[in-house]
Amino acid sequence: MNYLDVDIYREFKCIADACPNTCCVGWEVFIDKNTYKKMAEKEEQLGIPAKEWLKDNGEIVSVRLDHERCPMLADNNLCNVVMKLGPEYLSSVCTIYPRAYASYGDTIERHLQISCPEVIMKLMEKHTIEFDACHDQSPAPEYPYTQLYLFECDVRAFIIGIIQDMPQITLNTRLFTAYTILEEGIRMYQENQLDSGKLEKEVSFYAGESVLRNVETQLTQVVNGSSQYRFAEQLLKIADSYNQRYVRLFRLVRQAMAYFEEHDIGQYMSDVQEFKKACLDTYPDFYTNYWVYRIFADTLSVPDYEKSKEKFSYIAIEFALFQTIAMAAFAKRGSLDHEEYIYIISTISRILEHTENFRNVLMNEIHEKKLASAAGILLMALI
Ligand code: SF4
């Protein structure tokens, strides 16, 4: 088998009690029956009967949260299962998270879920994201979509190249161009013409600096502050109407909504600039790394390649949402709070990773209200 990993995959180490947004709070974790059995056997050592903190409905076992916390999470935010029994007693879900895998025949791609704050911190610290390939002797299963997978990989590599290699061009221009290349790849797929060489020639034209500069100039005329302002304001209203479970996050959402009631477009534009400057001064490579990472992890759509466009838009919505909430918090405080920024990004990702409905609500409302096209979303993502 071949393995393709994002570089931080192998380096990852949970920071446990130092985590600013632990995954042991706010999530209903499902565990395997075998772990339930082990927890029942060791309940004396754990100091709590298994049936008091685990719910077995016959088919699945889940953790009963106590004030949103896993009952095994001690006050010092360390896990009692690990401390009292050892890490080998953790359920597979707890052992695996935030690691994620996708199989494409003879290749497995591995990354980490962005809802883990340690992953976000790594993306903030790193200068650039790299990818590692390796191979072992495990047998590969039959796979009917290898040709499409390899084509999608080539298109993804072209896109990542533009985003990573042209930092002198604004990020929204790079994303818009990346999206254009994706559309071209999908058009070739629809016409049953998976020709990476041909697409590469087109990409070398799109990726020329003078072409990108030209696109950059045109985009500044298309997207203005008022459309960005209205888009961000609407996005908050949709988010607010959906889910209030994450109390701290929704307090920040309300704060951001109040920001839009109190500030006009002029002030918004100036605050956005200040916010972006503060972020880029503190984490100069974060935005590029974030997008490269997400495009690697979340845009392949074998065998239905058309879905990739939708996935690209999801990432832009997510980005726009956390940036807007963070910008309003920044404007209120007058400075960037590292812990709060990471909390906002990880919680939004957590909701979107685990509540598909929230993502659908956001996308449907955006389409129904005609707030933006998919390409428009990229341009208004507060970047
Ligand atoms: S969210 Fe990540 S760093 Fe935090 S406790 Fe969970 S696995 Fe560890």
Query: What's the rounded mean pLDDT across residues 3-13?
Result: 95
Report which protein residue has its CA nearest ligand 1's atom 4: 22
Domain positions in the chain: 24-96, 221-379
Please give the DSSP secondary-structure letter assigned to residue 355. -
Query: pLDDT digits over 57-97, tens only?
Result: 888 899 999 998 999 999 999 999 999 999 999 999 999 99
pLDDT at position 358 over 80: no
The answer to whether the CB of 26 is under 6 A from ligand 1 is no
pLDDT at position 356 over 70: no
Q: How many residues would you count in the chain?
A: 383
pLDDT at position 235 over 70: yes
The answer to whether the CB of 39 is under 6 A from ligand 1 is no
Phi, psi dihedral angles at 204 (to 5 degrees): -65, -25
Query: What's the rounded mean pLDDT across residues 178-184?
Result: 93
Grade residue 364 by pLDDT with cuts at 50, 70 and 90: confident
pLDDT at position 382 over 70: no
pLDDT at position 231 over 90: no
Coil vs helix vs strand at 320: helix
Q: What is the pLDDT of residue 223?
A: 73
pLDDT at position 216 over 70: yes
Higher pLDDT, 366 or 348: 348
pLDDT at position 228 over 90: no
Which atom of ligand 1 is nearest to 77's Cα? 5
The answer to whether the CB of 19 is under 6 A from ligand 1 is yes
The answer to whether the CB of 117 is under 6 A from ligand 1 is yes
**How far, in Å, are 162, 170, 224, 225, 375 from residue 218 at the CA level?**
18, 12, 11, 15, 14
Element (H, E) at 3: strand 2-6
Higher pLDDT, 383 or 308: 308
Q: What is the pLDDT of residue 58?
A: 84
Grade residue 374 by pLDDT with cuts at 50, 70 and 90: low
Report which protein residue has its CA nearest ligand 1's atom 7: 14
How far is the centre of ligand 1, averaged over its atoms, from the C-alpha of 95 (Å)? 11
Query: What's the rounded mean pLDDT across residues 147-166?
Result: 96
Query: What's the rounded mean pLDDT across residues 44-66?
Result: 92
pLDDT at position 243 over 70: no
pLDDT at position 45 over 90: yes
How far is the centre of ligand 1, averaged over its atoms, from the C-alpha of 26 (Å)? 13
The answer to whether the CB of 98 is under 6 A from ligand 1 is yes
Given a contact cutoff of 8 angstroms between Cβ atoms, the answer to whether 80 and 48 are in contact is no
C-alpha torsion sign, points 352, 250, 278, 207 = positive
Query: What's the rounded mean pLDDT across residues 159-165?
Result: 95
The answer to whether the CB of 82 is under 6 A from ligand 1 is no
Query: pLDDT digits over 91-122, tens only?
Result: 999 999 999 999 999 999 999 999 999 999 99
Query: What's the rounded mean pLDDT across residues 364-371?
Result: 70
d(Cα 179, Cα 176) in Å, to the nearest integer? 5
Q: What is the pLDDT of residue 372?
A: 63
Higher pLDDT, 205 or 133: 133
Grade residue 359 by pLDDT with cuts at 50, 70 and 90: confident
Q: What is the pLDDT of residue 156?
A: 98
Give this prediction's pTM.
0.93
In terms of DSSP bridges, do strands 30-31 and 61-63 run parallel, antiparallel, or are they unpaired?
Answer: antiparallel
Q: What is the pLDDT of residue 357?
A: 72
Looking at the chain, the whole-number percentage of residues with pLDDT higher than 90 is 74
For 158-162, 210-214, 238-242, 372-376, which range has the lowest pLDDT when averaged over its residues? 372-376
Q: What is the pLDDT of residue 375?
A: 63
The answer to whether the CB of 342 is under 6 A from ligand 1 is no
The answer to whether the CB of 15 is under 6 A from ligand 1 is yes
How far is the centre of ligand 1, averaged over its atoms, from the C-alpha of 17 (Å)? 9
Q: Which of 221, 268, 282, 214 is nearest to 382 (CA)?
A: 268
Q: What is the pLDDT of residue 371?
A: 62
Q: What is the pLDDT of residue 383?
A: 61
pLDDT at position 362 over 90: no
Q: In what order do the strands lie in the sheet with 54-56?
A: 30-31, 61-63, 54-56
For a pocket test of ligand 1, which of 14, 81, 112, 114 has the largest count of ligand atoms closer than 8 A to its C-beta?
Answer: 14
The answer to whether the CB of 114 is under 6 A from ligand 1 is no
Q: What is the token pair recorded at 286?
A: 């974060």
Q: Which of 112, 118, 81 is nearest to 97 (CA)?
A: 112
pLDDT at position 135 over 80: yes
Q: What is the token pair recorded at 101?
A: 């895998």
Which atom of ligand 1 is nearest to 119's Cα? 2
How far is the centre of ligand 1, averaged over its atoms, from the C-alpha of 29 (Å)? 14
Grade residue 5 by pLDDT with cuts at 50, 70 and 90: very high
Print the SS3 string covering 160-220.
HHHHHHCCCCCHHHHHHHHHHHHHHHHHHHHCCCCCHHHHHHHHHHHCCHHHHHHHHHHHH
The answer to whether the CB of 14 is under 6 A from ligand 1 is yes
pLDDT at position 314 over 90: no
d(Cα 310, Cα 301) in Å, to the nearest integer? 10
The angle subtended at Cα 305 by Cα 301 and Cα 311, nearest 5°, is 55
Q: What is the pLDDT of residue 225?
A: 83
How far is the centre of ligand 1, averaged over its atoms, from the C-alpha of 73 (Å)? 12
Q: What is the token pair recorded at 97?
A: 């998270």
The answer to whether the CB of 8 is under 6 A from ligand 1 is no
